[in-house]
């Protein structure tokens, strides 16, 4: 003979549901704290993105500054290499001037002498060798006779009346000039023409 089973005992909440089966069940809603946490995360991400953009901009600026410094240092190094001999070159110019004066001082009548010509040839060879050596260091002569006067390269010492040439033409070179690379080492001292022929004006025919 079996024992009878006891009926299940309901809790108070279950009894209330059983008593009111039509009661609305309210769905779960996110708590306000969770929404605020999401907004904070969005703000943090935006702030980090701004910091990253600022650091990237600073990095690019720093890289550009380093590149400019490298180029400037390279240019200064090249200039130092090119123009380091400028002071020495100015002192050597007087040697070149004296060699040229010695050559021009020999009169034509004396050139008929073998002894004089032998010495003169030696002086001319010495001058040529000196100019070739200077050329290796980008030191070049400025001998503008017959050219238009250029204030960047020439220094006018006097004017010469010559109607056969255009005004401002270099007619006489008192002392040759020299340049080193793209810089003026010494201007050429010259005499320029005054008056003379005017440059012809170019006219455009109005008739088609």
Per-10-residue mean pLDDT, the chain, length 208:
53 53 53 68 85 90 89 82 84 92 91 90 95 92 94 94 91 94 93 73 48
**Cβ atoms within 10 A of the Cβ of 89, count?**
19
Domain extents in the chain? 33-84, 87-137, 139-198
In CATH terms, the superfamily for domain 139-198 is: Head domain of nucleotide exchange factor GrpE (2.30.22.10)
Q: What is the pLDDT of residue 208?
A: 39
Q: What is the pLDDT of residue 77?
A: 81
Q: What is the pLDDT of residue 21?
A: 53
What is the 8-class DSSP label of residue 207?
-
Report how far residue 2's alpha carbon sits from residue 181's, in angstroms, rounded to the nearest whole number: 124
Sign of CA dihedral 145, 149, 151, 153: negative
Q: What is the pLDDT of residue 112?
A: 86
Q: What is the pLDDT of residue 167?
A: 92
Report how far residue 130's alpha carbon sits from residue 123's, in angstroms, rounded to the nearest whole number: 11
Q: Which of helix, strand or coil describes residue 149? A: coil
pTM: 0.59
């Amino acid at each position: 003979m079996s024992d009878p089973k006891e009926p299940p005992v309901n809790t108070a909440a279950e009894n209330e549901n059983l008593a009111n089966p039509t009661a609305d069940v309210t769905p779960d809603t996110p708590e306000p704290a969770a929404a605020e946490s999401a907004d904070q995360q969005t703000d943090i991400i935006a702030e980090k993105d701004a910091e990253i953009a600022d650091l990237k901009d600073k990095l690019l600026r720093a890289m550009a500054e380093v590149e400019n410094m490298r180029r400037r240092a390279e240019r200064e190094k090249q200039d130092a290499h090119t123009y380091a001999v400028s002071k020495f070159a100015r002192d050597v110019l007087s040697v070149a001037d004296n060699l040229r004066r010695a050559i021009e001082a020999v009169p034509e009548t004396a050139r008929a002498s073998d002894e004089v010509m032998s010495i003169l040839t030696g002086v001319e060879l010495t001058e040529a060798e000196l100019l070739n050596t200077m050329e290796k260091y980008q030191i070049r002569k400025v001998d503008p006779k017959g050219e238009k006067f250029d204030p960047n390269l020439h220094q006018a010492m006097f004017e010469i009346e010559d109607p056969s040439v255009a005004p401002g033409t270099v007619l006489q070179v008192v002392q040759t000039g020299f340049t080193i690379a793209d810089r003026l080492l010494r201007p050429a001292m010259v005499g320029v023409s005054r008056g003379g022929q005017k440059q012809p004006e170019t006219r455009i025919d109005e008739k088609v």
